[in-house]
Each structure stands twice: as C-alpha cells, then as structure tokens.
Amino acid sequence: MHLLRKGSRIRKVGAWAFGKAKWGFGLGLTVLGIIGSLLGIPDLNRQVRTDVPLIRCWFPVAMDRTKFTVVMTPLVTVDERGRVRQTRDGRELANHLYTRLEASFNELNLPIPSELRGPQDACAVVGRDRDARAAAAEALAQEIDADLVIYGAILQSANGAQYQPEFYVRYNSFDEASDLVGPHELGRPLRVSVPINAQDLKAVADHPVNVRARALSLITLGLAAVAVDDHATALAFFAEAEQMPAWSAGAGKELVYLLMGNAASNLAATTLDAAYVSQALGYYEEALALEPTFARALVGLAGATYQQALGNLQTRRGSDVLLERLEEAEILYETALETPAPAAAEIEVKAHFGLGQIYLVRHYVLGGEWLDRARAEFRWLIAHHAATPVRARDLVGHAYARLGLIAAQWDDDVPAAIPLYLEAVALVTPRWQAVYHLDLGDLYVRQEDREHADFHYHEALGIAELHGKHDLVARAEEKLAALRR
C-alpha cells in the first residue's frame, strides 16, 4: 500500500512538472511573438511552433479553416507486445505516401481551396490499437482544424511487418455527409519489408504500397469534393480508386464501395434521380459482400432502400410508396443496431433517425400507431444528444424538424411547430437551413403574420445565394413574390 501511494505521488509530481514545463513554453512563445513583432518578424512565433519538434507537438499551428485541410502524420510502429514507438521506418513510409498525395493534388489542380501538411511538419498519432489511434486522431483534428487526418501504423510480429493505413474524417467540412465522420481503415494491412527504403518502393510502380498510396490519394480527392457538396466529382474519384488493378477486392475494398454508395445516395437526394438509388444499392451490397458485418454499409443500404421505397422521388405520393421495401429498410436498420461498430460511426443515432423516417411514411400511408412511434424515435434522438452530444448534429436538427412537421400537419399546432423548426435551423447544414426557413415562412403565412414570413423567406434566400443552392433561391423568390401579391 505504501508503495502504491508513493507511485501515485510520483505520477502527480510528474504531471505537475509536465504542466509547468508546457506552461513555461507557452509563456515563452508569447514573449517570442511580442519580440518578433517589435523586430519586424511577425511570424516568429509561428516559425518556432512549426520548426521546433517538441514545440510543434505541444503548440501546433492551426490550419486554414476556410480551406479543405489534410494532415498526414508520421506512422507509429507497434510491436507484438503492444509497445508503441516512433521510428525511422514510420517517418520514411509516411513521407513516401505524402509525396504521392501531394503530387495527386498538384496534377489535378482542383478548384477546391485546400491546405496539405506533411509528416515532416506534424507529430505522430500515437496508440497501440485502432481505437486509441482514432481517439488521438480526433483530438489532433480538433486541435489544428484539420478536416482529414491520415495516419496509421507499422505492425510488427514474428512473421514480419505490415502497414495499416488509417484516416479520420472530421465533421466540420462534411456538412452534407456526416455519415463519413469518424475513423476508417483503408483496406487490410499490407506486408512491408523493414527497414523501409523509399527508393526501393519508387522503383516498383505496381508495388502494393504504391497502389494503396494511389487509392488513398484518390479517396482524399473524393473527400475534398464531398466537402464542397460535389458528389458527382467525388463519385468519379472513388470509382477510379475502386478500379485500381493491383488492389484486389479481398484486400479491404469495402470502404471504397461505402464511399461510392454514400456519394450515389447523396446524388439521389439532391437530383431526385432514382437511377442513383439503384447505383447506391449496388455499391452497398458490394461492400457487404466483402464485409457482412460492416455497420456503416448496413445503415447506407437501409437508407438507399428507404429512398427506393418512396417510389417517385420527385412527386413523393403516398400511392407510390412500396411498403415491402419500407419493411426491408426497417429490418436493415434493426440489424445495424445489433452490429458492432466504432462509437465514432454513431450507428445508433443514424438507425433511430432512419426508423423514425420509416414510421412517419407508414403513417402517411396507413395511419394508426405509426405517428406515435415516429415521434418517439425523433424524441429519443434529441434526448440522446442532450445527454451525450453527437457529431452528426444535422440528424438531431432533422429530428426537431420532423417533430415540427408532426406538430403543424397532424396536431394542427403551428405555435408548437415554430420553435421546433428554429431548433432545427441551429443544427443543420446550410442547404437545410434554407429549407427550414422556407418552412417557417409557410407557417407564419398560415398564421397571417406577413412580417415574420417575409423575414424567414429572406433568410432562406440569403443562405441559398451564399452557398450556391440555385433551386432554393428560385423557391424563396417564388414565395416572396406570392407574399407581395
């Protein structure tokens, strides 16, 4: 017991000393910034935080949040006993991968403002297993405002070494695609020879590491397109990655099929073209054929099946609803709830929202108890977010909007619906902010309150113009014209 108390004191003293040292470095950086300004070197503070390794890790420079930001970190080496080290091999392989990624961005000259930061300017994402590294990647993404963190590990065992490529997607720039948020593995681990020699890798164009590096670059480019809601371009990049000849399906391609399914499903939602629904279903089924317990793909397949169940996406008539497909979507969501998945995937959140959607459509067609069941699912989601804030805040916002719809349409209680829609506006993405402001305008028209209706229609117009949502601009202008008549 005495030794335990002594060890506890040592740890406390060590933590105190570390905190004091970090505080001292922070104070020193502040002084450096002041001195730099006086000497006419305004970037002295930033230069020190970028160039000095220890300070770079303690006080990393934030990335430009107005751009799509990608950081690739040095890889860690994990031995068979779970010990984590930062090695020359990890740095060498990460630098090789980054060179390929940077070349891909430069070759294509995408019209997407972006900032790349390489392993030489970043600190490793440390963790003995996938979950620990994912948590560290999430913390780094938050700290430096990175939209995408590319990291991974060299896994050593008695049978040799393997490279496990991983990346973490942060919520901020993926407003319309929160289904991507969280950690991902890019295929099965690849066998590599250590010590790593980048020159040897460059000499073999179809080396598995180079093939995976090219796929990683294409996926990153696709994610950059997703960040600006260009799902057609994203789908093209993901499809090119899927076609990489030396990357076999059995080597972990399920992630690519998931990304392709997500892109096609988003295109169906925005273009109302049912052909994309068929594509999405096919991609999700490919992913599940490779990995039957892939919870993200189960949720994706459930969502695409729900889209198919609606029938004509443009008219959305109750008579077009395919009830048997709606039942299939329900079963898929329930299966996803029972399937193990990383916490960051937030499968529970997505599945409960999807079930609420299904119950609401059933009520449109069949009536009965389904409205109360839909209401219960949306309320569960809101209560869950209040207790444990979720990353997919847009789904929470949509849950508020669905409750607002129920209040206005079935309860005939417009005063109760308005604050629910206002809660929704605060949580959803720009496109849906505009949509819900239009809905708010309509509610005020029902109350013969032209002043508030005009305000919300103008809010919708401004948001739609700012974010290039031309279809919503037209809708807002039509409603304002009708209000003036």
CB within 8 A of 361, min separation 6: which ones?
Answer: 309, 310, 321, 326
Mean pLDDT across the chain, nearest whole number?
86
Phi then psi for residue 45, to 5 deg, are: -60, -50
Q: State which of 28-32, 81-85, 179-183 shows the largest mean pLDDT.
A: 81-85
Predicted confidence at residue 315, as pLDDT, reads 80
Dump pLDDT digits (tens) for 262-309: 999 999 988 899 999 999 999 999 999 999 999 999 999 999 999 999
Collapse the DSSP code of 367 into the 3-class scheme (helix H, G, I; strand E, B; otherwise coil) and give the result: coil
Helix (H) or strand (E) segment spanning residue 154:
strand 148-157
Beta bridge partners of 149: 71, 168
Of 129 and 6, more confident: 129
Above 70 in pLDDT, residue 30? no
Tokens representing 19 are 């905190």
Tokens representing 216 are 């990683």
Round to whole Å and give the CA distance between 163 and 403.
47
Q: How confident is the model at residue 33 (pLDDT cuts 50, 70, 90)?
A: very low
Beta bridge partners of 162: 155, 191
Above 50 in pLDDT, residue 40? no
115 DSSP assignment: E
Dump pLDDT digits (tens) for 133-148: 999 999 999 999 998 9
Phi then psi for residue 68, to 5 deg, are: -80, 115
Q: What is the pTM of this model?
A: 0.79
User: First CA to last CA across the chain, in angstroms?
Assistant: 83
Beta bridge partners of 115: 69
Tokens representing 368 are 């009965």
Of 366 and 111, more confident: 366
148, 255, 405 from 344: Cα distances, Å: 15, 15, 29
Round to whole Å and give the CA distance between 304 and 299.
9
Q: What is the DSSP annotation of 425-450?
A: HTTS-HHHHHHHHHHHHHHHHHTT-H
Q: How confident is the model at residue 388 (pLDDT cuts 50, 70, 90)?
A: very high
Mean pLDDT value of segment 455-478: 95
Round to whole Å and give the CA distance between 192 and 160.
8
C-beta separation of 46 from 61 below 8 A: yes
Report the Cα 419 to chain-centroid distance in Å. Answer: 28
Collapse the DSSP code of 197 into the 3-class scheme (helix H, G, I; strand E, B; otherwise coil) and give the result: coil
CB atoms < 10 A from the CB of 201, how many? 21
Q: How confident is the model at residue 210 (pLDDT cuts 50, 70, 90)?
A: confident
C-beta separation of 331 from 323 below 8 A: no
Above 80 in pLDDT, residue 19? no
Predicted confidence at residue 178, as pLDDT, reads 60
Residue type at 177 in one-letter notation: A
CB within 8 A of 464, min separation 6: which ones?
Answer: 434, 470, 472, 473, 476
Round to whole Å and give the CA distance between 376 and 335.
19
Q: How confident is the model at residue 4 (pLDDT cuts 50, 70, 90)?
A: very low
Round to whole Å and give the CA distance between 436 and 430.
10
Above 90 in pLDDT, residue 373? yes
CB atoms < 10 A from the CB of 447, how many? 12
Beta bridge partners of 369: none
Round to whole Å and give the CA distance between 260 and 265.
9
Predicted confidence at residue 171, as pLDDT, reads 60
Beta bridge partners of 151: 166
Tokens representing 264 are 């096609």
Mean pLDDT value of segment 85-111: 88
Checking 319-324 for CB contacts under 8 A at 24+ apart, the result is: 321/361, 321/364, 321/365, 323/362, 323/365, 323/366
